[in-house]
Amino acid sequence: MITFYDFLCPPPQVTKSGNTWKTRLTLNYKGLPYKTENIEYAEIADLYKKHGIPPAIVFPNGHAHYTLPVIKDDSSGKDVFVVDSLEIAKYLDKTYPNTPRLIPDVEDAEAQIKAFENQMNGTFVSVMPVMFKASLSSITERSQEFFKAARVRDMNFIFPHKPVSSWDDIQFTPEEVQAAWASLEKPLDALSNRFGGKETFHWALGDQITSADLILAGLLLCVKAVNGEDSPQWQSIMTWSNGKWKTFLDKLEPYQSQEN
Ligand SMILES: N[C@@H](CCC(=O)N[C@@H](CS)C(=O)NCC(=O)O)C(=O)O
């Protein structure tokens, strides 16, 4: 059985992490049985250390970074831990060859998906700070101080020219929040060509769903969870590019279940 480690959120338990969404979509798309274990932000490092998993990233200053998603697969009789949403997709493709592949078995597919992931990180970077601020309410009280310190570190890493020293330094007026969301429209409109433009539809790499699609879907589902489905921001994103992103997520609806 596969155990999927996701974030524990105050009820209702709806994760706002785009990265864990990528793995949930991956598991659901493959139709693999799994169970979710929701853990606190502040407990991720303990999970890694308890099982001897090396940190996801060690920064040049020596800071060890522990991230979710993580999966544990004990179906071979021993516990196999895999870290990072794309590595998890690769592992599942390899270990369960009878499930639909997410990284096509053709030259360059993984490189294309990685390039797409980098492009998406660049596209969504403009809304990251407002997302960080808006996500605090989905963090359990116990993990809030941990979360704030981690996001301050992220801000200094992503925007080294605008250093912040505390969570309270990250402040936005309602107009700035609105402007940040509006700034996504142009790059997403340019991206819509990759998905068939305004009149037709195909997936990022062609006819088949791949990890590239689930990377974008994870980010969009995170935006949806952070803003709320009925928010003007989300409603307006659903109309962009002739409803491209609504169509995109509707097609992935069967894989968005959080039941497991
Ligand atoms: N490249 C990784 C990124 C994982 C990642 O950054 N996860 C965030 C949540 S969205 C995390 O666990 N952060 C922990 C922290 O900030 O302490 C993946 O795709 O899995």
**CATH class held by domain 109-255:** mainly alpha
Q: Name the closest-CA residue to atom 2, ligand 1.
A: 84
To test the ligand 1 pocket, which listed residue (8, 68, 113) has its Cβ within 8 A of the most ligand atoms?
68
- pLDDT score of 27: 98
Which atom of ligand 1 is closest in space to residue 17's alpha carbon? 10
- Ligand 1 pocket at CB < 6 A: 17-19, 41, 44, 67-69, 84-86, 150
Which atom of ligand 1 is closest in space to residue 19's alpha carbon? 10
DSSP-based three-state secondary structure for 145: helix
Range 171-180 average pLDDT: 93
Of 149, 219, 54, which Cα lies nearest the Cα of 157? 149
185-198 pLDDT, tens digit per residue, is 999 999 999 999 98
The domain ranges of the chain are 2-95, 109-255
**Nearest 10 degrees: Cα torsion 221, 224, 225, 230:** -150
Strand intervals (E) in the chain: 2-7, 34-39, 57-58, 64-65, 70-73, 80-83
Beta bridge partners of 201: none
> Ligand 1 centre from 18 Cα, in Å?
9
Which atom of ligand 1 is closest in space to residue 23's alpha carbon? 20
For residue 10, cis peptide bond before it (omega within 30 degrees of 0): no
**Where is 118: in which H helix or E strand?**
helix 109-124
To test the ligand 1 pocket, which listed residue (4, 5, 19) has its Cβ within 8 A of the most ligand atoms?
19
- Kindly tell me if the per-residue pLDDT of 23 is higher than 80: yes
- pLDDT score of 9: 85
Of 197, 196, 260, 257, which Cα lies nearest the Cα of 2? 260
50-90 pLDDT, tens digit per residue, is 999 999 999 888 889 999 999 999 999 999 999 999 999 99
- pLDDT score of 79: 96
> Ligand 1 centre from 202 Cα, in Å?
28
Range 133-149 average pLDDT: 91
**Nearest 10 degrees: Cα torsion 114, 2, 46, 166:** 40
To test the ligand 1 pocket, which listed residue (21, 38, 67) has its Cβ within 8 A of the most ligand atoms?
67
- Percentage of the chain modeled with pLDDT above 90: 87
- Kindly tell me if the per-residue pLDDT of 12 is higher than 80: no
DSSP-based three-state secondary structure for 65: strand
* Architecture of the domain delimited by 2-95: 3-Layer(aba) Sandwich (3.40)
- Band (14; pLDDT cuts 50, 70, 90): confident
- Band (119; pLDDT cuts 50, 70, 90): very high
How many CB atoms lie under 10 A from the CB of residue 186?
11
Q: Name the closest-CA residue to atom 1, ligand 1.
A: 84
* Residues 2 and 27 sit within 8 Å (Cβ to Cβ): yes
- How big is the CA angle at 40 (ends 17 and 136), to the nearest 5 degrees? 55
DSSP-based three-state secondary structure for 7: strand
Which atom of ligand 1 is closest in space to residue 65's alpha carbon? 17
Q: Name the closest-CA residue to atom 8, ligand 1.
A: 67
- pLDDT score of 244: 97
